[in-house]
Structure 1
Amino acid sequence: MKFPTILVAFILAASSVLTAQKKEVSLEEIWSGTFREQRLQSLQSLKNGEEYVILNRDRQTGNTSIDVYSYKTGKKTRTIVNSADLAEIKAFDDFKFSEKEDKILLSTEVEPIFRRSSKEIFYVYDVKTKSLKKVSDHKIQEASFSPDATKVAYVFENNIYILDLKNGERTQVTKDGEMNRIINGVTDWVYEEEFSFVKAFEWNPTGEKLAYIKFDESRVPEFSMDMFGKDLYPSQHVFKYPKAGEANSEVSLHMYDVKSEESSEIDLGDKYDVASSSSEIEIGAKNDIYIPRIKWTADPMLLSVQVLNRAQNDLDLIFVDAEDNDTEVVLNETDDAYVDITDNLTFLKDNSFIWTSEKDGYNHIYHYDEDGELLDQVTSGDWEVTNYYGYDAKEDKIYYQSTENGSVNRDVYSIKPNGKNKKRLTDKTGMNSASFSADYTYFINSFTNVATPHVYTLHRAKDGKLVREILNNRELLDKVASYEFSPKELSTIEINGNDLNMWMIKPSDFDENKKYPLLMFQYSGPGSQSVSNSYYNTNDYWYQLLADKGYIVVCVDGRGTGFKGADFKKVTYKELGKYEVEDQISAAQKLGERNYIDADRIGIWGWSYGGYMSSNAILKGNDTFSMAIAVAPVTSWRFYDTVYTERYMGTPQENPSGYDDNSPLSHVEKLKGDYLIIHGGGDDNVHVQNTMRMVEELIQANKQFDWAIYPDKNHGIYGGNTRLHLYNLMTDFILEKL
């Protein structure tokens, strides 16, 4: 009588063993770095094109070194400098070579300011003499060698200085710098965040001139944040932040002559003269402009300046003669919506130049002569150039990355400036990205797809031929095998007349005869992409955790996202949050029609722009979404900065309905589902003001919701256990509410 019982017990035990073979991922594993990919260290090509350098750190001693490696073999050939040999410093955090690579700027004691800016102690290391010289006893910004490396220019307390390395003399170039008023040579907050640069000065190729931008931010309103810390009284962080429709910094271009030690302001032409007798700049006036890029041309006395109107739909490329400060508009580009700023402008030896533009409906490469006359449209087609790598004068080739093999994929190509002899240099379908040696002999290709973590390989630039494999992540694949993760399935879904890119992750034991709750993730910001043929990021492991618990996770890139042409991207112009939300609601409804998805249990989440979207989705789509999580969301574009917001929305004065009709604050009475809103209290980018206003509107509408504030944390909400806590919070909310 006992035999059947024993047999059943044996079968159950065997079943348990088989079940146990599939490991379940945990949040602790995800955020402790268990699934971290090996990445190729940031490398810098030496001018010889045969070698590259890497900043290495000895974990035991803390010493740092700049080591040289051969592209061809990958073997270390020598060490240029090791902090162990320097009495003055224990280690350095970064480095910059001089033009001839005979001197190096070493940065230490780095103190971050905002996303890209920092203050540092800099030293100059002489490669030949092995001597070390401190640039300043103060923490300074953006130290930069002159072309002959005899001088270093830098910014201290909003003023530009030049140190003569031969005699030690220090020259103060500007003297009117003042905190929260005048900035010389580095950018203000909004330029740094939205135009993606900090250093706003450039040596000319002979070292005789220094062009720089001045920011007068005296009229820009101040924003303040309480930082609670651990002291008895909180501190207050106050900085200039121009919200949409408010005053920007008044920007001006200046030219400093090193020999005479005199600066002169550059008159950018009649187009930008003050529109009235008032000395103050009025919003939208002719002189209410941006100067998002300055760059010296192949002529050492000719500076190129990109000048953009406040509406960001009219861009001038202006040449400035540094001898007499005369200016000439060489190229003008306009758009019914907006013109994007890039770093692709490249000057050839004859001062003709490479330019990228969306003017034919897709982003492509153009070649102009020195007078701005079009020579050739280099690339064309219903696909996008997604990265411009540079021009090889020796081979007369342009190298670029594009979506010619589909908007979720990337490939690397070479082409002649006349548009002929195009060659695909990568052969694997997925995301390919190249880093070229200085002389374009080699490129290192980074490849990934949904099934393959990053693989780094070395190739010949002339034909793409493989030289060697540098690094792969097979160990990671071996590690994740025991978890039996579900594949990330790429597809498209037809929504509102468009085939939208989509990925889906299903439970590993998926049964099409069952019904599953659906969680949607999206970002949806203009020109962004969340659906690509690439391997898991950190959030994807979280989605695998949720899939193991019986959820289907989906991401759909709706209208307004990138890499499918200008019309697809710019349809959201002046209507942020309208078409993108419509697409997410429609996608959820269409997915809810599938027999394996429970249409009554559909949730959505997002961060930043994605938090704005998820908030709108649960309000405008209250019959579709039963749950939403919004992390660090914009809740009204009136609260966000001028450059980003007005590029896509115009000013609130011009477009009040666009701002208010699609603001979650205007729809709180529609809340029916479960809503969690989260923010960092020290977010200098999307201010916690957004969440506080949303909370107050929900309270006054008598709507119940959940919320969390992470004290003093910035837009990324990280540090210590913060991310683990955050994802535990969100996971528990999803498990309980969806």
Structure 2
Amino acid sequence: MDYPELAARTRRFSYGAPRAVTVSPDGARVIFLRSSGPEDPSDALWVYDVAARTERCLADPATLLRDQPDLPAAERALRERLRLSAGGIGSFALDGAGVLAAFPLGGRLFKADLLTGDVTELETSGPVVDPRLDPTGRRIAYVTGGTLRVVDADGTDSLLAGEDGVTWGLAEFIGAEEFHRFRGYWWSPDGRSILTARVDESRVPRWHLQDPSQPDQAPTTIAYPHAGATNAKVTLHVLDLDGGWVDVHWDRETYPYLVAAAWSEQNGPLLAVLRRLQQHGLVIAVDPRTGETQVHAELADPRWVEPVPGTPAHLADGRVLVGGELGHDGYDARCLFADGSLITPPNLYVRRVAGRLDGDLVVEASEGEPSEQHVFRIPVSHSGPRATRLTTEPGWHQAQAAGRTLVIGSQTLEAGGSTYTVIHNGETIGGIPSLAAAPPYAPRPALERVTDRRVPTGVVYPRNHVDGRKLPVLVAIYGGPGHQEVVAARARWQEKQWWADQGFAVVSIDNRGTPGIAPSFDKAIHRRFSDVILGDQVDALQGLAGKHPDLDLNRVGIRGWSFGGWLSALAVLRRPDVYHCAVVGAPVTDWTLYDTAYTERYLGLPADAPDVYAHNSLIELAAEPPVRPDDVRPMLLVHGLVDDNVVAAHTLRLSAALLGAGRPHSMIPLTGATHMAAGGLAEKLLRIELDFIRRSLPLSG
């Protein structure tokens, strides 16, 4: 079986691989999700016993449900925000001791005892979304129909909060999509109250998604806060189970974005909030008795603030952990601070706080090489910033830690898939096996840093390539904030190797704006997306040709999805002298049609910067007639018709502008597809894209 078919059947070799790996607070158990094999899309709940060094399946969807009912709409939306296409159990939550787990399955509520293995279904008043045990394990809260409810140990199901026209306990679209805050409520440590978000979308513009292939179905109406429009109103409230209610007070008009929230055992809730343009934010502590708040730290950057996932949080000694940037005295670093004191060395680019290990912090960070991510142990003493690197093999390493147990998930260029190693008291005691399929071949990318900006790049050749033979170039690209293509993990190059084996030198370039190097590299794109990003792409491609003489720059195609789709179209429209054809997947073509938090963070408000929006718009660029007929480059546009993130209007308007300017192009509408193009659609498109690129590139240099 060839790569496209095998990748579609195995969800790119991820079915059967562990995910959502979590360590219980005492470090005694590792809980995770995994399906039964390489073609099983339905994840089950598993537990690994650290003392016994054994694993067992606790909850298998095939035995819990005879059929899989449709997911609640809110659960489907949450999975879309999480980019989760696996079936079965999508998520779980633990109690404070890590001995009980709650999870939804097909809209129904289940509780699992991790010690005995007993799994019980609990009656609820409606389809369940995001159930969470209170820390004491006595109750489970859940959301249904936009209301927040609580199930007691005796089975009593009570309404905690609910009203028409608003939702309680759910993250709003912006919170989930752009700030990766996927939850909307937090239990108090004693299990007697809940800090919950109330979301009012009444003033958010309504958009209507319609799949023309289903004319008998009514359009789906969504609240979509596009750039310059009104956002959802998000407020916080502490609700006692006995009916008490406290409003949380902060300057919502100045700081409307709730970026993160946490409620630790030692202290009250901590919040991170940002101004609309995200150049200033606050870390604030909440008094749950009164709702009054106190500022613990300020976050500021003239471009935008980039919080570190896993912060803010309370340390055991009461200090507040905050992620931020060190941009003075010659430093250009992304660091962690405790009550304002630096606790991570400035040579680390901190990406995430991954847990606590016997009192110390465990963080994921890069150290000089952006294609690699390593795991570090950070002491939280007052003796100054120090770090001990816990991973040595070149690659991409992630971690989860609690108690004295550390789980490290590793991907490298030397091995396929991910390996999960369980470490207890500093000793490797076992691992969590992957049941995923092995890819059919091993890609060997050449990773390079090019130009005076040391832009990360990678090149993959056909496996049968002979030096001296010129190859057409295919640029496989994303290029946008928050994502890297040039990563030292084999899985990231698997599909690119298939493309290379079709006769291309496949190139990926991480221009300025992508993470992993330094804040100045991340934020050079502020207010000037297209110039910086495309300029880096062109310069890096030419720099690579100097190191790789077999790259034929007279035959260059480019393909990308989402931000990469925008960049692909931008490349052939603005630089037809460099790029000769483009596959343009789900692109943002008009930034006024994309969401508030993402777009305004980088481009400002449309009313304040109309020229910036116009300069970065594909619609205006496509509407300009080409200077010369030879400057028209073939484009293949692809878009899911029920995409609620980058709506299909982006591509339809681009097509209309191209047609109006006399620019020929092709288009594939994906009926029933969202932004993920899940279900094997992306893999099934590969051969169509290949045929288009082969037909569109010049026959020779």
Q: Which of 133, 138, 141 is 2:129 aligned to?
A: 141
> 2:675 is matched with which residue?
715
- 1:487 corresponds in structure 2 to 444
Corresponding letter in the other structure for 2:448: S
Q: How does 1:244-643 map to 2 (within 5 A)?
A: 244-259=227-242, 261-268=243-250, 271-272=251-252, 286-287=253-254, 289-299=256-266, 302-341=268-307, 342-360=309-327, 361-368=332-339, 374=340, 376-392=341-357, 394=358, 396-417=359-380, 418=382, 419=384, 422-436=387-401, 438-441=402-405, 443-454=406-417, 456=419, 458=421, 460=423, 463=426, 466-468=428-430, 471=433, 476=438, 479-480=440-441, 487-494=444-451, 497-537=452-492, 540-591=493-544, 595-643=549-597
Deviates more, 1:327-336 or 1:29-38: 29-38
**Is 1:199 paired with 2:187?**
no
Q: Is residue 36 of structure 1 aligned with residue 13 of structure 2? A: yes
Deviation at 1:202, TM superposition (A): 1.4
8 Å contact kept, 2:246–2:288: no
**Is the CA contact (8 Å cut-off) linking 1:629 and 1:675 kept in structure 2?**
yes
The residue type equivalent to 2:102 in the other structure is L
How far is 1:288 from its partner?
Answer: 6.3
Query: Which residue pairs with 2:79 in the alignment?
Result: none
Superposed CA offset, 1:471-522 (max 9, x none): 4899948x53xxxx6621111211xx31111110123343443322111111
Query: What amino acid does structure 2 have at the position aligned with 1:659?
Result: Y
Higher relative contact order (CA 8 A, sep 6+): 2
Match in the other structure for 2:85: none
Equivalences for residues 226-245 of structure 1 within 5 A: 226-228=210-212, 233-245=216-228
1:581 and 1:617 in contact (8 A); partners too: yes
Q: Is the 8 A contact 1:65 1:82 kept in 2?
A: yes
Is the contact between residue 21 and residue 400 of structure 2 (CA under 8 Å) also seen in structure 1?
no
- Give 1 or 2 for the bigger CA radius of gyration: 1
Matches within 5 A, 1:31-180: 31-33=8-10, 36=13, 39-40=17-18, 42-54=20-32, 67-71=46-50, 74-76=53-55, 93=89, 95-101=92-98, 103-109=100-106, 120-124=107-111, 132=120, 134-166=122-154, 168-178=155-165
Indicate conservation of the 8 Å contact 2:450/2:544, yes or no.
no
C-alpha contact (below 8 Å) 2:22/2:31 kept by paired residues: yes
Amino acid across the alignment from 1:559: R
Deviation at 1:290, TM superposition (A): 1.1
Per the alignment, do residues 516 and 252 of structure 1 end up closer, same or farther by CA in structure 2, a change over 3 Å counting? same
Shift of 1:53: 3.8
Unaligned runs of 5+ in 2: 70-87
Residue identity (%): 23
Deviation at 1:447, TM superposition (A): 2.7
Establish whether residue 682 from structure 1 lines up as the match of residue 655 from structure 2: no
Change (3 A) 1:459 1:252: closer
For 1:383 and 1:62, the matched residues in 2 are separated by: 37
- How far does the alpha carbon of each residue in 1:330-361 deviate from its partner, in whole angstroms, 9 at most, with x for none? 21111111112333323123321222112433
Do the aligned partners of residues 653 and 62 (structure 1) sit closer, same or farther apart at CA in structure 2, a change above 3 Å counting?
closer
Q: Which residue of 2 aligns with 1:282?
A: none
8 Å contact kept, 2:636–2:667:
yes
CA contact (8 A) 2:296 2:320 kept: no
1:608: Cα distance to partner?
0.4
- Residue 278 of structure 1 is matched in structure 2 by none
Q: Distance in 1 between matches of 2:192 and 2:585?
A: 50
The DSSP-based 3-state class of the residue aligned with 1:427 is coil
Residues 626/163 of structure 1: CA separation in 2 closer, same or farther (3 Å cut):
same
Deviates more, 1:127-136 or 1:149-158: 127-136
Distance 1:69 1:317 in 2: 36
Report what 2:620 is aligned to.
666
Distance (whole Å) between structure 2 residues aligned to residue 104 and residue 258 of structure 1: 21
Q: 1:239 to 1:580 in 2, by over 3 A?
A: same
Match of 2:609 in 1: 655
**Number of aligned residue pairs:** 661
Q: Amino acid of the residue matched to residue 109 of structure 2?
A: F
Are the counterparts in 1 of residues 478 and 564 from structure 2 also a CA contact under 8 Å? yes
In 2, are the aligned partners of 1:679 and 1:709 still within 8 Å (CA)? Answer: yes
Deviation at 1:526, TM superposition (A): 1.5
Matches of 1:195 and 1:53, distance apart in 2: 25
Segment drifting more, 558-567 vs 35-44: 35-44
Contact 2:362 2:376 (8 Å CA) reproduced = yes
CA distance in 2 between partners of 1:466 and 1:726 (Å): 43
CA–CA distance in 2 between the matches of 1:688 and 1:202? 35
**SS of match in other structure, 2:606:** coil
In 1, Cα distance between the equivalents of 2:655 and 2:17? 41
8 Å CA contact 2:204–2:224 kept in 1: the answer is yes
Unaligned runs of 5+ in 1: 1-23, 110-119, 273-285, 369-373
Q: Deviations over 1:605-644 (max 9, x none)?
A: 1110001001111111111111111111111111100011
Q: Distance in 2 between matches of 1:75 and 1:153?
A: 31
**Which of residues 684, 703, 714 in structure 1 aligns to 2:663?**
703
- In structure 2, relative to structure 1, the CA distance for the partners of 1:615 and 1:80 (3 Å cut) is closer
